[in-house]
Amino acid sequence: MNNNSDFDVVKEIFSWISIIVVAAVIALVLNLFIIANSRVPSASMENTIMTGDRVVGFRLTYLFQEPKRGDIIIFKFPDDESLYYVKRIIGEPGDIVDIKDGKVYLNNSETPLEEDYIKEPMIPEADMHFEVPDGAYFCLGDNRNNSADSRRWVHPYVYKEKIIAKVIFRYFPGFKMLK
């Protein structure tokens, strides 16, 4: 009877170890290939994403569709690819982006882009003009007055192959689906 008891303990320990190993492998696969987990360290996306918020991005989104204006993305920072940034796509491939008097204009429109997500009106500065190349995107933070974004970078465009994921929700400190 003592041998049976020892055998059951070993079997139970092996069962727990196998469950932990399977869970770790699933978590690793999810993190490497399906989701991107990121903490936002700055105020550049406020009030959509606050400083210190944690967000989840879906890595597979752009295998099935093209990135589009308004998407919030996690990407490799064009001026230092060891850093990941989170910003909103404003200009798509082929777009002309003009920033005048604190407003964003697309493709020579007379009407500024309607942006109900920005924290506050942009402080006007010198006019800026950008022509988004094929395969690239022009990205801005929602907190335009406190955002290091395409307007300020040495390499102002985010190329599709450098996009890691589309942000789908914030989960800390509170859950919030992002559009």
Residues catalogued as catalytic: 44, 87
Question: Is the backbone peptide bond immediately before 41 cis, with ω within 30 degrees of 0?
Answer: no
Round to whole Å and give the CA distance between 103 and 38: 29
Classify 50 as helix, strand or coil.
coil
Round to whole Å and give the CA distance between 90 and 71: 8
| Residue of 133, 137, 131 lying closest to 72 (CA atoms) | 137
